[in-house]
Structure 1
Amino acid sequence: MLEPGRITAEALQAVREIVAPGVTTAELDAAAARVITGRGAESNFQLVRGYRHTTCVSVNEQVVHGIPGDRVLEAGDIVSIDAGAQFRGWNGDSAITIVVPDEARPELVAAREELSRVTEGSMWAGIAAMSRAAHIGEISAAIEDHIVGAGHRYGILRDYVGHGIGRKMHEAPSVFNYRVPDPGPRIQPGLVLAIEPMVVAGSEETLVEDDDWTVSTVDGSAGSHWEHSVAVHDGGIWVLTAPDGGAAGLEPFGVRPVEIE
């Protein structure tokens, strides 16, 4: 799964480089598509029945599953981009959140950057827990604890969670982003999880828009989504969708990823 992870990371980097006011969400999608097809892979999002885009691009109150199109990004927008590649029958899945700069509204930008920072941090907290946990429930608890410990009254989506990944983009088991009573399956070599907290600035209540895909907050509050695909192997863990295997993100947690031989 190393190669589809690398391809997914490169696709998101291509998107990151062009996010700016005036760019459409369709242009972001096209940038990711060029990388994925150029590397001889295919978009696993397009393998989902009824979905024909390479990415999901969610803006402001849209948290996940936003459909790329003619929407034009504006200064101050918070944008989450979710992408995945399938290569030789194996899958990668990852998401990032970017806040478009806005010099006229520094407080708005700061608040949205903090939301993104906490969400990303909770993802890394979950990945760090994965390196030493016995059961998946410990990952869930670490994600929630990081979000709550940040001191904000953020909401954590309940109906959308992380998952296993391998021959299919979405596999068992589920990875909740909040503490649950069931400890869940054991963590052991060979397990690969997509850890993806989805956090909102207000109420966690969401609705699905009329397009039957886009998930938005009911109260209109902004959302953030971060995701990495992470493998457990005999030597430790390796973040498949991070160019450095997760070294920089895990360093604050005292965890060092071990490259897969």
Structure 2
Amino acid sequence: MAQDKEADPESGTSLGYACARCQMTAKLQCPKCLELGLPKQPSVFCSQDCFKTAWADHKHAHKPGPHTWAFVTQRGRGRSFTMPSFSWTSPLRPERVSPRREVPADIPRPDYAETGQPLSEIESRQQSIVLVRSADEIKGIREACLIGRRILDAAHAAVRPGVTTDEIDRVVHEATIAEGAYPSPLNYCNFPKSVCTSVNEVVCHGIPDQRPLKDGDIINVDVSAYYKGFHGDLNETFVVGSVDGDSKKLIRVTAEALDKAIEAVRPGLRYREIGDIISQYVGAHKFQVVRSYCGHGIGDLFHCAPNIPHYSHNKAVGVMKEGQVFTIEPMVNAGTYRDVTWPDGWTAVTADGKRSAQFEHTLLVTKDGCEILTARLPTSPPLWWQK
């Protein structure tokens, strides 16, 4: 039976649509279309009789198509109307995901934007050689990082109870486009959205969906922007409403661990020492560092050498040199360091269902230290302990 929707739930105004069958004024909406988040036209009807008569044809609108919200499966490439079967580690579940957002044709984009395959990255010698960046490259990366910072700040300002992570994706996407940039995650290895939103026990690579943020949640927002041929990458973890003390401690310790690592960056430091610094600080607070993901080189490629693990006693090879650019982005768990991946092929969650936090900066090694290319601005919304 069609549901009576006197007002648009998004705007509060009268629907005022034409019946999908007879074009009379309509206010009844198909419940299946509501569930799937489909556009209100053509899913409204003037009466139950029109709805029943049109059902044989209308039901085909519920099949996957360009406007369908569905569960993501198979690393972003498959969509399903049913919840994937999986041994979930906690009560958190994926929600339906909207179609990918479009980027204007006049905005320069990386090679994977259409194909989903970052071939230039895969085939590049930068996967094994750490480049010392030229002055022009540093200028380009610095611009991309500043844009990324402004975008993340816009996303932070949108975080509050009741807001969906898909809405945060919209904010990030539109802010990126307004900067004349391309959202680096969009279609990277088929990732379906413009930002990663990782809630509570999600370690990283969370896909924005229809789940509203709840009071007491924590959320990491991971922004990357591609501008004039260069990428900038950063993330932060935010509180949603009133958050418990243990979660706040987890967030702050993670941020402080990143700060400790950044303080040590300088020419001659071995990459592997970053993991020792982070693990020592995190361990002192009884938390554990994720081992499955690491910091990475960045520039004209989204990901390249060096790899920078965040855990102690790692085997990373090489030393830092002036002019190198890379990220440090520790993921810290309240419980075990182990993680598992959801059926979508992207969402990494803690193996024990406990919470995780992450912070990331893109760094330029300088003569006697480093420059934080994604540093917070005077206008950046404060983190919880800065209020």
* TM-score for both structures, normalised by structure 2: 0.59
- Measured in 1, the distance between the counterparts of 2:251 and 2:314 equals 27
Partner letter of residue 169 of structure 1? F
2:362 match: secondary structure? strand
* Higher RCO, Cα 8 Å, sep 6+: 1
1:183 and 1:30 mapped to 2: Cα distance?
A: 37
Instruction: Tell me if structure 1 keeps the 8 A contact 2:267–2:366.
Output: no
Query: Does residue 1:195 correspond to 2:335, yes or no?
Result: no
User: Which sits farther off after the overlay, 131-140 or 77-86?
Assistant: 131-140
* TM-score, length basis structure 1: 0.87
Q: Select the residue among 293, 300, 308 that pairs with 1:175.
A: 308
* Gap change, CA 1:240 and 1:25, over 3 Å in 2: same
What displacement does 1:16 show?
A: 0.7
1:11–1:83: 8 Å Cα contact kept in structure 2? yes
The amino acid that maps onto 2:317 is G
Report the CA distance between 1:47 and its aligned residue: 4.6
Deviations 1:162-187 (A, max 9, x none): 11111111111111111225462111
Check conservation: 1:7, 1:35, Cα contact below 8 A. no
Q: In the alignment, does 2:13 pair up with 1:13?
A: no
- Bigger mean CA deviation after superposition, 130-139 or 115-124: 130-139
Correspondence 1:38 to 2:178: yes
Shift of 1:133: 5.2
Provide the residue aligned with 1:141 in structure 2: 276
Q: Is residue 144–residue 178 contact of structure 1 (8 Å, CA) maintained in 2?
A: yes
Output one character per residue of 1:90-130: Cα deviation in whole Å (capped at 9) or x when no partner: 1111111011122xxxxx52111100001111111111111
Question: Does the 8 Å contact 2:361/2:374 carry over to 1?
Answer: yes
Say if 1:101 and 1:109, in contact at 8 Å, map to a contact too.
no
Gaps of 5+ in 1: 103-107, 246-261
Identity over aligned pairs, percent: 33
Within the candidate set 260, 275, 299, 1:125 is matched to 260
User: Which is strand-richer, 1 or 2?
Assistant: 1
Deviation by residue 1:205-255 (Cα, 9 ceiling, x = unmatched):
21111111100112110010110100113464111111459xxxxxxxxxx
Q: Equivalent residue for 1:250?
A: none
SS of residue matched to 2:186: helix
CA–CA separation in structure 1 for the residues paired with 2:267 and 2:367: 13
1:133–1:139 contact (8 Å) kept in structure 2: no
| Correspondent of 2:356 among 211, 223, 248 | 223
Distance between the aligned counterparts of 1:244 and 1:188, measured in 2?
Answer: 27
- Quote the offset at 1:46 in angstroms: 1.4
CA contact (8 A) 1:205 1:218 kept: yes
Partner of 1:64: 204
| Counterpart in the other structure of 2:223 | 83
Deviation at 1:193, TM superposition (A): 1.2
Greater C-alpha radius of gyration: 2
- Kindly provide the amino acid, as one letter, of the partner of residue 204 in structure 1: Y
For residue 4 of structure 1, the aligned residue among 135, 144, 147 is: 144
Deviations 1:132-166 (A, max 9, x none): 652112222111121123x32x1211111111111
Instruction: Give 2:239's match in structure 1, choosing from 76, 90, 99.
Output: 99
**Amino acid aligned to 2:142:** L
Q: Which moved more, 1:128-137 or 1:73-82?
A: 128-137
In structure 2, C-alpha distance between the alignment counterparts of 1:235 and 1:135, rounded to whole Å: 15
Distance 1:212 1:56 in 2: 13
Q: Would the alpha carbon gap of residues 172 and 110 (structure 1) be closer, same or farther in structure 2, given more than 3 Å must change?
A: same
